[in-house]
Structure 1
Amino acid sequence: MVDSPVTAVERTDVVVVGARCAGSAAAATFAKAGRAVVVLDAATLPSDTLSTHLLWPAGLAELQHLDALAAVEALGAPRLTTAYAQAAGHGVDSGYPSVDGIDYAMCVRRTGLDAVLARTAVNAGADVRPRSRVTSVVWDGNRCAGVRYLDAEGRTREIRAALVVGADGRRSTIAREVGADQPFLTVPSGRDCYFAYWRDRADAPRHIAAQWRVGADLGTAFPCDDGLVLSLVQPPAVSEAGRGPGAAQRRYTEALARIPDLTYRLRGCEQVGRIRSATGISSYFRRSAGPGWALPGDAGHFKDPVTAQGIRDALHYGRTLAESVGDVLDDPRALDAAVAEWERRRVVECREIFYWTNRLARGETLRPLEIELYRSAADDPALAQITAGIFSRTHRPADLYTPSRALGLAVRASVHQWAHLPAVLADVAREIRDSTLEWRTTRTTLRGDAATATTSPSPHVTLTTAGPGEHHV
């Protein structure tokens, strides 16, 4: 794209592209630390975005870190104090392990959540500008030095900053402009995602976040604000040819019919609005740090929505990015080291939940070891708590599959599913293969420093000389 003549050039400490979860968290944290921050978002704010928006306790703890939790709670979504999961006839109830004193989940629609987050950034001192679409990055040699954007009136403007934060989602303009849009690790999902809102009935159990697995299908019911319940289904993915006009409604309805307990949960509820869909999904890691730039949120790392990790990670790594570099913005060498360390830490912290998510996203019929896990957790509250804790990041998947527990699951699966012993043994062999592959990936692609060595920036917008219109923000 060829930019129009620049009508104004500004300077600030940080420019954040994207005003939603990762961007607002970063902006609020920078601003609270006394840094000048400009936030640009192409959308009109507040506005909706494609998201299933469940917040586990760890996500709510991030809102608490930002002093935004009370305002989010005021939106009216109920506290979800019970997690319920059912598969193969085994139902598992559990509470949530506490994170910073929070032991409940919430499902908050994005229009309200994002409005609170943007307001939090503004109240902290950030300059948030909606309807401002970034068109290119400005370079000073090999260093990202700012951005150009079209403002709400269609004028081309330029902002110079010590750091450009690309919090602009999976189709990130900043990732593309710095040459980081191609992931260094990507795993296609085996599931498509369809969801809708329903007007919940008065006697519904609005304190329960529920999930059902039947065959290869997965479905959920999460009560949310305004008396609604969000119901999501994730059937096995189909080819592009199966996603034509009317496919979302058809596939959603068909999946509901295959999950009778979810259909029963929605009995007496009225669907509100259209079916929304996310198809052709892939989980990935992109290079997320370089000279003068960083990519928190989905711009740098994305996981399939099956484990509902996106909002928590966007908030957490937006906030921790600002905490990591706020004191060194004026020292380019120290800034580059700090963003590289922040990226390394995210890779290390997220790789296990990445593997866990990809396993659940395969879109396959329940495997023998999975069935045995549900059976065991139904009778073992401690095991159920560990499972709930994995989703809220208080436990690691490794805490669930310790050698002794994995052996016990295999033995009990062999006893309970003796008639299908070959399938049990094949599942054990597959588990060993998967664990070996994940170990190799951890030692190589996701070892923590591989990300910064995998790709290099390819700037294609050159530095322009500051004109007389330059001023400080």
Structure 2
Amino acid sequence: MAVERTDVIVVGARCAGSAAAIALARGGCAVVVLDAARFPSDTLSTHLLWPSGVAELAELGALERVLAFGAPRLRTGSASGAGFTVSGRFPAVDTIDFALCVRRTGLDAALVATARQTGAEVRERCRVTDLVWDHGRVTGVRYRDDAGADRELLAPLVIGADGRRSTVARLVGATQPYRAMPSGRACYFAYWRDNKPEWRSVAAQWRAEALLGTAFPCDGGLVLSLVQPPDAGGRPGPAEEIYRDSVSRIPELVDRLSGCDMVGRVRSATGLSSYFRRSSGPGWALPGDAGHFKDPVTAQGMRDAMRYGRLLGESVATRLGDPVLLDAAVLAWERRRERDCLGVYQWTNGLARGTALRPMEIELYRSAAGDDDLTTDLLGVFSRVVEPSRLLGPARLPGLAIGAMLRGYGGRGTVAADIADNARLAVVEGIERVLARKRPLPEIPPHASSAPGAEPSRPAENVLPQGEAHG
């Protein structure tokens, strides 16, 4: 078996992997990226980037390549429900004031090209089959190359940026989340030939009963339309049948898509669960969906994959020569990601409940529809410039509660129950955020072997839901 050495191995070349590779190469490291795909390559993804995600593309040096695909700049965000519409311009993030929806074939290829230009070596059609261990430390990978030959590659750090079904996570025994929340929604989406030029700069969302639907104009003259009905559990029915039925029950989405023809098949992801997995250990790290995943209802996945992939690369680039400093840097990176993302994770779980708008949500829509500052805050949560706790925290909840009670949405009993539930949830989530800053992360059981070059133990593979649904 051919054996090579490098500074860092990155498994997976999409958002998190390319971002980490770019940061490491900028830091002067020799980086080899392995991916089973050949680019351009599609992946199951709803691929909307709010301005904060577009700002990450700019930080990585990939934005101009991505803009060349011709996706329109989405400068307006619109959300409608219960007869109210909230619409406004996105607050700027590092001068970026627009969202983008670019299909993954182009976006991922642009990231790979940028990684190569920066100095990373990207090897396509290479599938990792095993990890190399030395005294409980990951020291490399074994993989099958594009010619079918088995090879071994050694490095002080292996980064598993290989998605929810991460091979690296499985081989280090980190597939079991330490924090998880099943989604109450399924996800179905399709592309339509867009015939509505007046909507080409608007990222729109609608709520109708328990349904949620969106329309995001993208490259190729298309619009990506996603629906998220409640997840019924068990085996879902035919995807296209569920999708078309859900669209038909959201009147505003029907109007948005009128005169548009669906292109290609309906794609789906069901049985989703948001989670945090332990994402650092001796010689390994898990950025992107491999370590942390949120339901696509808030479209945060790609932004976080790129941001924390980049921050991981920046954190370790100068510490690869000392295992103690390296492990400390990777652990600090993991703790930072948890602190930064926990509030958005909690907010996402609330929107993923699969229920109709609740009284205080209706009051939020009503209030924001006539309040530019509140609209900016609402859009700022999606763009990660406003914490969800500021939008629905102690300073604002009493006013929303009073407004909901005065208007009696669904009856006083329903309003009172929702107020009590929101107050309870605010306390529980606040405690969780405080504890996350103080409590150590759960330990990964030590690797069974302590002999140099010994084979790793084989943890049982976690059964994961179908599909890869990235926001």
CA RMSD of aligned residues (A): 1.4
Amino acid at match of 2:423: I
| CA distance in 2 between partners of 1:284 and 1:235 (Å) | 21
Contact 2:17 2:309 in 1 (8 A): yes
| CA distance in 1 between partners of 2:120 and 2:410 (Å) | 63
TM-score normalised over the length of structure 1: 0.94
Specify the SS of the correspondent of 1:450. Answer: coil
| CA distance in 1 between partners of 2:416 and 2:198 (Å) | 42
Contact 2:183 2:295 in 1 (8 A): yes
Equivalent residue, structure 1, for 2:303: 312
Amino acid at match of 2:84: H
| CA distance in 2 between partners of 1:294 and 1:405 (Å) | 38
The answer to whether 1:330 aligns with 2:324 is no
Q: In the TM superposition, what is the alpha-carbon distance from 1:415 to its structure 2 partner? A: 1.0
Specify the SS of the correspondent of 1:15. Answer: strand
1:231 to 225, 228, 250: 225
Contact 2:359 2:410 in 1 (8 A): no
Q: In the TM superposition, what is the alpha-carbon distance from 1:417 to its structure 2 partner? A: 1.7
| CA distance in 2 between partners of 1:211 and 1:195 (Å) | 13
Contact 1:138 1:462 in 2 (8 A): no
Equivalent residue, structure 1, for 2:464: none
Equivalent residue, structure 2, for 1:354: 345
Specify the SS of the correspondent of 1:362. Answer: coil
The answer to whether 1:258 aligns with 2:249 is yes
Equivalent residue, structure 2, for 1:388: 379
TM-score normalised over the length of structure 2: 0.94
Change (3 A) 1:46 1:459: farther
Specify the SS of the correspondent of 2:72. Answer: coil
Specify the SS of the correspondent of 2:40. Answer: coil
Equivalent residue, structure 1, for 2:437: 447
2:168 to 145, 154, 174: 174
| CA distance in 2 between partners of 1:127 and 1:459 (Å) | 32
| CA distance in 1 between partners of 2:394 and 2:133 (Å) | 51
2:46 to 38, 41, 52: 52
| CA distance in 2 between partners of 1:462 and 1:156 (Å) | 22
Q: In the TM superposition, what is the alpha-carbon distance from 1:435 to its structure 2 partner? A: 1.6
Deviations 1:12-36 (A, max 9, x none): 0000000000000000111111100
1:249-288 equivalent positions in 2, closer than 5 A: 249-288=240-279
Specify the SS of the correspondent of 1:348. Answer: helix
Equivalent residue, structure 1, for 2:5: 11
| CA distance in 2 between partners of 1:252 and 1:113 (Å) | 25
Change (3 A) 1:313 1:418: closer
The answer to whether 1:458 aligns with 2:452 is no
Change (3 A) 1:293 1:71: same
Equivalent residue, structure 2, for 1:114: 108
1:339-378 equivalent positions in 2, closer than 5 A: 339-378=330-369
The answer to whether 1:422 aligns with 2:417 is no
Q: In the TM superposition, what is the alpha-carbon distance from 1:336 to its structure 2 partner? A: 0.6
Change (3 A) 1:427 1:121: same
Amino acid at match of 2:66: V
Specify the SS of the correspondent of 2:92. Answer: coil
| CA distance in 1 between partners of 2:162 and 2:370 (Å) | 44
1:153-302 equivalent positions in 2, closer than 5 A: 153-201=147-195, 203-241=197-235, 243-244=236-237, 247-302=238-293
Deviations 1:223-274 (A, max 9, x none): 0000000000000001223x14xx2111101111110100110000010000
Contact 1:132 1:151 in 2 (8 A): yes
| CA distance in 1 between partners of 2:241 and 2:449 (Å) | 44
Deviations 1:36-69 (A, max 9, x none): 0000001122100000000001001111111111
Amino acid at match of 2:233: S
| CA distance in 2 between partners of 1:414 and 1:293 (Å) | 52
Specify the SS of the correspondent of 2:212. Answer: strand
Q: In the TM superposition, what is the alpha-carbon distance from 1:89 to its structure 2 partner? A: 0.5
1:65 to 55, 59, 69: 59
Amino acid at match of 1:46: P
1:144 to 125, 138, 141: 138
Amino acid at match of 2:58: Q
Contact 1:136 1:461 in 2 (8 A): no
| CA distance in 2 between partners of 1:265 and 1:419 (Å) | 28
Q: In the TM superposition, what is the alpha-carbon distance from 1:405 to its structure 2 partner? A: 1.7
Amino acid at match of 2:200: R
Contact 2:390 2:396 in 1 (8 A): no
Q: In the TM superposition, what is the alpha-carbon distance from 1:204 to its structure 2 partner? A: 4.0
| CA distance in 2 between partners of 1:320 and 1:459 (Å) | 31
Amino acid at match of 1:458: H
1:34-49 equivalent positions in 2, closer than 5 A: 34-49=28-43
Unaligned 5+ segments in structure 2 are: 455-471
Equivalent residue, structure 2, for 1:399: 390
Q: Using the TM superposition, name which of 48-57 and 409-418 deviates more.
A: 409-418
Contact 2:189 2:226 in 1 (8 A): yes
Amino acid at match of 1:306: V
Q: In the TM superposition, what is the alpha-carbon distance from 1:447 to its structure 2 partner? A: 3.4
Amino acid at match of 2:65: A
| CA distance in 1 between partners of 2:262 and 2:155 (Å) | 46
| CA distance in 2 between partners of 1:106 and 1:23 (Å) | 20
Deviations 1:208-231 (A, max 9, x none): 000000110000000000000000
Unaligned 5+ segments in structure 1 are: 1-6, 466-473
Specify the SS of the correspondent of 1:138. Answer: strand
Contact 1:167 1:295 in 2 (8 A): yes
2:27 to 27, 33, 52: 33
Amino acid at match of 1:289: S
Contact 1:19 1:41 in 2 (8 A): yes
Amino acid at match of 2:76: T
| CA distance in 2 between partners of 1:206 and 1:117 (Å) | 25
Give the number of equivalent residue pairs.
Answer: 454
Change (3 A) 1:180 1:214: same
| CA distance in 2 between partners of 1:281 and 1:419 (Å) | 30
Contact 1:290 1:457 in 2 (8 A): no
Deviations 1:319-370 (A, max 9, x none): 0001111011111110010000000000000000000000000001110000
Amino acid at match of 2:27: A
- Percent of paired sites with the same residue: 58
Change (3 A) 1:299 1:462: farther
Q: In the TM superposition, what is the alpha-carbon distance from 1:463 to its structure 2 partner? A: 4.3
